[in-house]
Chains A and B, each alone.
Chain A
Amino acid sequence: MDSRITEKLKILADAAKYDVSCSSSGGKRKNENKGLGNAEGMGICHSYTEDGRCVSLLKILLTNHCIFDCAYCVTRKSNDIKRAAFTVQEVVDLTINFYRRNYIEGLFLSSGIFSNADYTMERLVRIAKKLRQEHKFNGYIHLKTIPGASEELIKEAGLYADRLSVNIELPSENSLKKLAPEKSYSEILLPMDNIKQQLMQAKEEKKLFKSAPTFAPAGQSTQLIVGASAENDQQILLLSDQLYKDYSLKRVYYSGYVPVSADNRLPIITEPPIIRENRIYQADWLMRFYGFDVKEILDDSNPHLDLDIDPKLSWALRNRHAFPVELNTADYEMILRVPGIGVKSAKKIVSARRFAALTFEHLRQMGVVLKRAKYFITCNHKSLQPYDFDSQRIRNKILFGDGAVRSPLLTQQLDLFRQVG
């Protein structure tokens, strides 16, 4: 292989990396044709970048030529960077050969928009089709849906892809107008709604005919950029909540804005808002796995997530009347709301207490972390806390007390925010 491929890979991986979706799970494509690959069940992270993100898929752009000029995007038309384009065959070869060596779970293919939306989308679909039909490839394929692509092409994409996604990127119509003048919310939401309809239809047909074609079995996702525009955390989470409910999205990804351009439409920041992004993810998890309503996490008087502490602890400190929770009798749903207790610990607690009254010693042995939880629980009506601290005291004890661990990154970023604020 010549150095041209190496050069293209450099450019087109660089251009694709700000799309943070990496999931390779939820596919139901079994290897039934004695072909290559199997994408049933769990996703696999084959490596991790030095920034700590999972590498599961070959994530590339087909090309970084683009007719749009979105301020936040490294690939925008007005940016003076090297441009490149893969051929269909090159993408297929890379995918197959990386997959055969167990480097990846599959392909994540996106693209800058060249000529027009349909022309671009058609190329993406052609690659997926070739992988599935000519190479009997059953690995994971995630295709980006190009805003403005026709319904027919999206429908065809869903036949070959495991997941489809349309990125909203900016959390409000206003910001979109300002930073991505060629895009509009309606143009983004239309394909999203389209995919949702197709997913529902395919599900119905599956009920009737087992042989009905599957449509993007791993569903659809989107991405929101955090920190490139002025929306607060409440606006972002309300939007996510709506996307989960109205469009049945599998995932909303959040990408802390990495300053990739000196475009004057953007705020001047020196570092990506990693802590804020992390808190938003935690809040997203609370909505999806912990039974929290978005309105419990943030409201008009608290529109920002607390950067110092996680949103569950934050909620607990505002709702002291709900505690302490007696672990031997409380509902599973309430145990899940205890700061520091996750889904696995909560399940273990509920399971083990059927056999014996749990003590704190049991909890320690089971690996339940008590650092935060101890202020909010009792075991057999005993507490590890002799005093009834007020919320501010608990907050301080958790943040600065014995065994408080703060990553250097957190300290650094919080210092920065203090300087700014």
Chain B
Amino acid sequence: MHFYTYDGSFEGLLTVVFEAYERKAWPTAIEQEQLAQPGIFGTTIAVTADEEKAGRVWKGLQKRLSASALKELYYTYLWEQPGFEQTIFSYIKLAFDNSESIEGNYTAPCVLQVQQAAKQLHREKHRMEAFVRFQKTTEELYYAHIEPDFNVLPVIISHFTKRYADQLWAIYDTRRRYGAYYDLHTTTFITLDAAPRKGIGVLPESAVMEEEHTYKQLWQVYFDHVNIPERKNPKLHLRHIPKRYWKYLSEKQPRMQA
């Protein structure tokens, strides 16, 4: 039995694949270092992320998989749900073991799992692109915080960078405690150095521009008046915006007074 640990990065995970092939020692489990339980049986192999080794695995995959399959694999990594490392490993092994392409072979459990994980991640990505609401701060920064179910920040920033090329903006993931900041030229990942406390990354009321209230209120007014009461359909409404997303949406907050 072979237990692998890695640093939690995508590069680290690909390095695990490299090491497993190097040793011909297929993993029983792959876990992040800080989460790993020391095993009683079998050997634990602590893998250090290695750019070159990871790069070789990725190059090998590029020869066997289409760009969209590679994207799905990366999405599965960002999906972060229990067992994702094993799923990714099984998928990569299946790809290397077969001379024919494995794409679309939904009869193989790992191919189906990758497809389904990527689909979930894609849906969350799309929801964040839709439900992020910026507030303009007194420093002319458009700011939003999010708490996505999956780690979608790395895949939503290109959307926002293209869209808001002429405004300063930042999006902060309060669950994973990191964010992205666009300075009118490039978008970079940021962390906030305040001591870890609850509410970090949430904008204090005092930092918000005066006009923010006006537009929030106008948006609420618009939302109420674009509705057709005769067609009320709460079930459909909830299917489209599940309650857990309401916290982002000013139109779902109590009505503001003019």
Contact = CB atoms under 8 A, between A and B. Distances in A.
Nearest to A47: B251
A396 interface: no
Nearest to B185: A34
Interface in B102-134: 103-109, 112, 116, 126, 129-134
Contact of B226 (A55, A100, A102, A271): A55
Given A351-B104, A354-B104, A9 B225 contact: yes
Contact of A358 (B107, B222, B249): B107
B140 to A, nearest CB: 11
Interface string A261-275: 000000000011010
B244 interface: no
A46 interface: yes
A385 interface: no
Interface of B: 103-109, 112, 116, 126, 129-136, 142, 144, 159, 162-167, 211, 214-215, 217-219, 221-223, 225-237, 239-241, 249, 251, 258
A272 B230 contact: yes
B227 A17 contact: yes
Q: Is the interface of A mostly helix, strand, loop or mixed?
A: loop
A94 B218 contact: yes
A355 B221 CA distance: 54
Nearest to A55: B226
A340 interface: no
Given A46-B130, A355-B108, A362-B107, A34 B241 contact: no
Contacts of B103: 351
Contacts of A420: none
Given A9-B225, A17-B226, A101-B215, A50 B251 contact: no
Given A1-B218, A36-B167, A48 B240 contact: yes
A362 B105 CA distance: 11
Contacts of A42: 126
A352 B167 contact: no
Contact of B232 (A5, A46, A48, A51): A51
Contacts of B249: 47
B102 to A, nearest CB: 8
B133 A49 contact: no
Given A1-B214, A17-B225, A355-B107, 17 more contacts: A5-B218, A13-B225, A13-B226, A30-B162, A36-B165, A50-B233, A51-B233, A52-B233, A52-B240, A53-B228, A58-B222, A100-B164, A101-B134, A258-B230, A352-B104, A355-B105, A358-B107
Interface in A14-68: 14, 16-18, 30-31, 34-38, 42, 44-55, 58-59
Looking at chain A, what size class is its interface with the partner chain? 35 or more
A52 B251 CA distance: 14
B225 A10 contact: yes
SS class, residues of chain B in contact with chain A: helix
A44 B129 contact: yes
B136 A101 contact: yes
A186 interface: no
B165 to A, nearest CB: 5
A380 interface: no
Given A9-B221, A51-B232, A59 B226 contact: yes
A223 B253 CA distance: 33
A6 interface: yes
Contacts of B233: 50-52, 274, 409
Nearest to A34: B165
A259 B230 CA distance: 9
A407 interface: yes
Interface in A85-104: 94, 97-98, 100-103
A36 B227 contact: no
Contacts of A103: 133, 219
B228 A18 contact: yes
Contacts of A322: none
A365 interface: yes
A200 interface: no
B237 A48 contact: yes
Contacts of B159: 38
A259 to B, nearest CB: 7
Nearest to B240: A48
A46 B116 CA distance: 24
B227 A51 contact: yes
Given A5-B218, A13-B226, A101-B135, A407 B164 contact: no
A51 B231 contact: yes
